[in-house]
Amino acid sequence: MRVAMAQTAIKFEDKEYNRAKALEMFEKAQGNADFIIFPEMCLTGFSMHTERIGERPDNYETLEFFRQCAVKYKIAVCFGMVRLVDGKAYNSAVIIDKDGNASDFYDKIHPFSGGREGQFYTGGDHVIAVKIGKLNVSPFICYDLRFPEPFQAASEKCEFLVVIGNWPYIRQDFIAPLLRARAIENQSYTCFVNTTGFDGKILYGGGSVAFTPLGEKVIEAGEEEGLYIFQLDENKPRVFRGDFNMKADRRNDVYVRLLSEIKPVEKVSWQADVFEFNE
């Protein structure tokens, strides 16, 4: 499988501009990739203006745009969007195959408290698995990368863990080591697709990166906007898991008990200056 990381410089809350940029990426990927991945909230940027950028079930225009692109260019796609359902906003990821079939929504499980995201978005409570080629793919979103438990759950069925993000430059160096850990501990391919540039509020540094199930770096982007393509060996995760069956030694029953015995951590309220949003 040939995977394209579309590392774009998102123009804040400008869907028309960002759709044009996405089309450029599809044009470059056509004939060169089987699966293209875009960042979190890829047509709007990391905005807390949910009523302004969010979409309701009767008009998921972002989903329809990417569905048409997937069919036209014959490329499966993963992307992020904001949806409004029953008075709640969700930071969501969707995968659409090359025939235009859309997956269920994955809703970001961990809204980022440092950016006040949890004040505007409701956290999800499930993971999804989508078959692309020979691999089962599970998407996650940005801050989720810091929490290994959902990745373990997803890797029971999936061999390719995808993270889409708007990860700021100030914490850029954390992406690769965290993603590599998720690859090794889940014996899965992992990929993080980030945005880059300055959106008027936050500076992003790109650094999109992918690892094999053995933790080997496949590709890493710099700060430049661009399409970064790499090849996956679709048989590698299953072969490696068969040779080194770490999953069989997991003690999920013990982990659940241990978690139930731990006292909840008191939440500390904090707000980084870089994440102040003007309403």
Q: Where are the domains of the chain?
A: 2-275
Enter the pTM of the model: 0.94
pLDDT tens for residues 95-105?
A: 999 999 999 99
Rounded to whole angstroms, how far apart are CA atoms 182 and 209?
A: 13
Question: Which of helix, strand or coil describes residue 38?
Answer: coil
Per-residue model confidence (pLDDT) at position 55: 98
Mean pLDDT rounded to a whole number for the chain: 94
Asked if residues 147 and 177 have their Cβ atoms less than 8 Å apart, the reply is no
Per-residue model confidence (pLDDT) at position 237: 95
Rounded to whole angstroms, how far apart are CA atoms 83 and 80?
A: 10
Asked if residues 66 and 79 have their Cβ atoms less than 8 Å apart, the reply is yes
CATH class of 2-275: alpha beta
- Inform me whether the pLDDT recorded for 276 exceeds 90: no
Radius of gyration of the chain (CA): 18
Contact partners, residue 151, CB within 8 Å, separation at least 6: 138, 140, 161, 182, 185, 186
pLDDT tens for residues 64-97?
A: 999 999 999 999 999 999 999 999 999 999 999 9
Per-residue model confidence (pLDDT) at position 278: 37
Q: What is the arithmetic mean of pLDDT over 112-134?
A: 95
